[in-house]
Amino acid sequence: MEKKIVFTENAPAAIGPYSQGVDTGSLVFTSGQLPINPADKKVIVDDIKAATRQCLLNCQAILEAAGTSLDKAIKTTVFLTDLKDFAGMNEVYAEFFTGDCPARATVGISELALGAKVEIDVIAIK
C-alpha cells in the first residue's frame, strides 16, 4: 500500500500539521473539513445548512483531486457542537448522499476550531 498526499486549491489549506487528504491507492481519507470557503477563507458560523454544504463541498474537492468522489464514500464522520443542529445538517447531507449512502457517525462535541459548528470527514474507495 502506498501513501500519497492529496492537495487541491479547491479546498481550504490545512491549518496545522496535517494533509487535506491521503490516498492509499484503494482508499482516500479526507481530514475533517470545516465550513471554510477556500475562495475567501471565511468560516461559515451562523447557518448550519450553509456550513454543512461547505464542509461537504470541501470534502468533495479533495476526493475529486484524488480521483474519486462522494458517490464512492463508504464512511463519514460528522462533528456538531450542538446536536440541535442535527436536522439542518441532515437535510443538506441528504442532498449530497442519495441511494447507497455511506456509513456515518454523528458526534456531539463541545467545540471546534475557528468557532465552527460542524466538521465532516470522509473515507472513499478509488
Each residue's pLDDT tens digit, 62-121? 999 999 999 999 999 999 999 999 999 999 999 999 989 999 999 999 999 999 999 999
User: How does pLDDT run across 40-50, given as a tens digit for each residue?
Assistant: 999 999 999 99
Q: What is the CATH number of the domain that holds 32?
A: 3.30.1330.40
Pairing of strands 118-125, 73-80: antiparallel
pLDDT, residue 97, reads 97
Q: Which three cell numbers stand for residue 107?
A: 458526534
Domain that holds residue 52: 4-125
pLDDT, residue 13, reads: 94
Structural domains of the chain, count: 1
Question: What pLDDT, in 10s, does the model give residues 8-42?
Answer: 999 999 988 999 999 999 999 999 999 999 999 99
What pLDDT score was predicted for residue 1?
78
What is the pLDDT at residue 15? 83
